[in-house]
Amino acid sequence: MIFENTLEFAKHLDLQDPLHKYQDEFIFPKVQGKKVIYFTGNSLGLQPKRTKAYVDEVMNDWANLAVEGHFYSEKPWWDYHERFADPLSKIVGALPSEVTVMNTLTVNLHLLMVSFYQPTQTRYKIICEEKAFPSDQYMFQSQVDFHSQNLGIQFEDAIVEIKRRDGEHNIRLEDVLAKIEEVGDELALVLIGGVNYYTGQVFDMKTITAAGHKVGAYVGWDLAHAAGNIKLELHDWNADFAAWCSYKYMNSGPGNASGCFIHKKHHNNAALPRFAGWWGHNKERRFKMEQTFDPIQGADGWQISNLPILSLAPYLASVDMFDEIGMDALIQKRDAITSYLEFILHEIDKEVDSSFEIITPSNPTERASQLSVLLHGEGRSLFDYLMQNGVITDWREPNVIRLAPVPLYTSFEDIYQFGQILKAGIQS
C-alpha cells in the first residue's frame, strides 16, 4: 500500500479498519487531559473496560458464597482454568489439552526446565540467544548451578549464546542452525525468546525446533513477546514446551498469570520428571486426598497449586476478547499499523535533520508489532519530550526507544500524531 503522512489519510485508514472500534474498549491514561498515545503494550497492556466485570463477578461470588464458590459460583473456581483451554489454544496454535494457565512466566520456565532440562555428563548444553531477557539468563545460570554439584558442569561452558555478527542488530537464522549443528550431541536444550524483547526480531520457530530435534535436544520457547502478537503453531511446529506472560500483549494486568504449552507427545511420559502438586492430580479424585500422585494427562498435569482466581479473571476477559477477534484479523491490522509507523518514522527522518535507525528487521515476516529505534543523537531528552507530550514509549539503554503499536488499541491517527510530536521533539 502507498502511505501518506497526512491526518486525512490516517483517518481514512481508521475508517476502513474493522478493529478500530476496539480502541474504545480500553482505558487510556491521560496527560494534560488528553489520552496518551500508548506504545508500551509490549511491556504492560492497557486495561480493557470489560475486565472489571470479570473481577467483580469473583468478588461478588466470594462475598455471597464464600467457600461454596469453589463449586457454585457463576464460573466455579475449582476448574476455572479450564475455561482457557479452548480460546488460549487458538491463540498459540495448540490442542486444548496442550495449554494451561498457572504461576508466572519465569516460574513456569523453571518448572518446565525440571521436565525438559535433564543434563548428563555428556549432554548438558543449553542454546539461547545473546543478550536474552535478564530473567532468562539468571534462570539458565541457576539451573546449571543446580545440576553442577552432581555433574561438575559450569554455566560458562554449558550456556551457549548465539551471537549477532559484527555491525548487525539481528541474529541470523543460519547462525542459529550452525550453532545447533556444532553443539550437536552435547546439546540438551534450545530455549530462545520467540520474539526478541529488545529488537522485536521474530525467530523461525518451526525451522529451529526441527534442527534442535535433529541433534536430539528438546526445544522450548519463551513467548513473552509472542503470545497474542504473532501467529503461533506450537503443536504443528512440534515444540516441546513454551510459556508466556499475559500482561504484555494479552492485557491481563500487572504481574499476572502465565500460560504454558506442553506438547501432547509428552503428556503420558511417566519418565519425565516434574514438580507435582494437588492441582495436577487426577481431577475426579483430587478431593479424595490420595497419597499417590496421578497426573492429569495434559498440560494441566503440570499444575501445582489451586489457582489465584482473582488473577485469572482479567486474563479470561482478555482471552475472550482475543477469541472474539481471532488472530488472523489481529495480525492483518498489526502488519498494516507497524508498516505505517515505519513509513512515518522514515518520513520524519527525511523532513528533519535527525539521525536514528530502525534496528527491527524491515521484512514483515521477521517482525511483529514492535519497532526499536536506535538514536544516534540526543536520545534520553527526546524520550522525555515524548513522555511529556503524551507519547508513552519505552527506553532501553544505551540509546533505544521501543515502539509497539498494538492492533487492539492503536489507531492510524495515533501514528500520524506521533510523527508530528516526534518531529517537534527533534526540532525543539
Ligand X SMILES: *Cc1c(COP(=O)(O)O)cnc(C)c1O
Report the interface residues with ligand X, using CB under 6 A: 104-106, 133, 135-136, 193, 197, 222, 224-225, 245
Distance CA 408, CA 386 (A): 22
Q: How far is the CB of 27 from ligand X (least distance, A)?
A: 22
Of 280, 282, 285, give the one whose Cα is nearest residue 306: 280
Q: Is the dihedral of CA 311, 314, 315, 317 positive or negative?
A: positive
CB nearer ligand X, residue 98 or residue 222: 222
Q: How far is the CB of 103 from ligand X (least distance, A)?
A: 9
Hey, which bits of 263-387 come out as E strands? 356-358, 371-375
Q: How far is the CB of 104 from ligand X (least distance, A)?
A: 5
Q: What's CA 177's distance to the chain center, in Å? A: 23
CB nearer ligand X, residue 247 or residue 409: 247
Distance CA 43, CA 14 (A): 25
CB nearer ligand X, residue 193 or residue 405: 193
CB nearer ligand X, residue 104 or residue 399: 104
CB nearer ligand X, residue 23 or residue 106: 106
CB nearer ligand X, residue 45 or residue 193: 193
Q: How far is the CB of 245 from ligand X (least distance, A)?
A: 4
CB nearer ligand X, residue 153 or residue 230: 230
Query: ∠138-139-140 over CA atoms, to 5°?
Result: 95
Q: How far is the CB of 46 from ligand X (least distance, A)?
A: 16
Give residue for cell 467457600: 67
- Can you give the C-alpha Rg of the chain in angstroms? 23
Q: How far is the CB of 211 from ligand X (least distance, A)?
A: 21
As a whole number of angstroms, the longest Cα–Cα distance in the chain is 72
Q: What's CA 1's distance to the chain center, in Å? A: 29
Beta bridge partners of 55: none
Task: Please enumerate, as own/partner, the contacts of 22-28 that have beta carbons within 8 Å and a separation of 24 or more.
Answer: 22/321, 22/325, 22/408, 22/409, 23/408, 23/409, 23/410, 23/411, 25/49, 25/50, 25/321, 25/408, 25/409, 26/251, 26/408, 26/409, 28/409
CB nearer ligand X, residue 129 or residue 186: 129
Distance CA 215, CA 390 (A): 50
Q: How far is the CB of 322 from ligand X (least distance, A)?
A: 19
Q: How far is the CB of 260 from ligand X (least distance, A)?
A: 12
